[in-house]
């Protein structure tokens, strides 16, 4: 077989985007985001142990608009990863494989993620 006639492996451009595909990719990305966010949590805790001056500096950065935006993303990643992980646990025990059920569960993951993230921020910032 000539080099130009070999079959190509399926790629993202071949497949039509589906909700389960999106949640799978976002699950991986949220895991990476959580790992990076834990570095910031570690930095904040180390600053708390280092003394009031350093803690005030770090707390000021994390309390700024950019810090709050990062915290919003971290919180959303946490809730998404949790909800989608629960969905995967249900799949592990054999529930939710029907196409319509999988779609509804995918939408539910996004709905609960947004609701829980906004609820957490409303409670945390008294809004």
8 Å CB contact between 117 and 72: yes
- Given CA atoms 69, 32, 84, 25 in this order, what sign does their dihedral have? positive
Q: What is the pLDDT of residues 71-90, one digit of tens each?
A: 999 999 999 999 999 999 99
pLDDT at 37: 96
Structural domains counted in the chain:
1
The answer to whether position 5 is within a domain reads no
Quickly list DSSP for 93-122. TT-S-SHHHHHHHHHHHHHHHHHHHHHHHH
SS3 123: helix
44 falls within a domain: yes
The predicted pLDDT at position 6 comes to 67
Q: What residues of the chain score a pLDDT lower than 70?
A: 1-4, 6-13, 127
In a domain, 38, yes or no: yes
Cα–Cα distance measured from residue 108 to residue 113, given in angstroms and rounded to the nearest whole number: 8
Considering the entire predicted model, what is its pTM?
0.85
The reported pLDDT for the residue numbered 60 is 95
Q: Flag whether 10 is in a domain.
A: no
**Alpha-carbon Rg of the chain, whole angstroms?**
20
Q: Give me the CATH number covering residue 64.
A: 1.20.1300.10
Q: Is residue 54 part of a domain?
A: yes
Both structure tokens of 80: 């998404």
- Residue 84 domain boundaries: 18-125
Residue 12 lies in a domain: no
Task: Confirm whether 34 is domain-assigned.
Answer: yes
> Which tokens in the block code for residue 52?
């009031």
Q: Is residue 61 a part of any domain in this protein?
A: yes
């Amino acid at each position: 077989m000539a080099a130009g006639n070999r079959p190509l492996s399926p790629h993202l451009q071949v497949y039509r985007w589906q909700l389960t595909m999106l949640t799978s990719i976002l699950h991986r990305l949220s895991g990476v985001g959580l790992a990076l966010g834990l570095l910031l949590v570690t930095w904040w805790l180390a600053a708390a142990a280092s003394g009031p001056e350093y803690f005030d500096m770090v707390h000021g950065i994390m309390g700024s608009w950019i810090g709050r935006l990062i915290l919003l993303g971290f919180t959303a990643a946490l809730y998404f990863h949790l909800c989608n992980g629960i969905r995967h646990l249900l799949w592990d025990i054999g529930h939710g494989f029907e196409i319509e059920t999988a779609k509804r569960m995918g939408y539910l993951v996004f709905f609960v993620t947004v609701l829980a993230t906004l609820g957490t921020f409303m409670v945390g910032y008294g809004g």
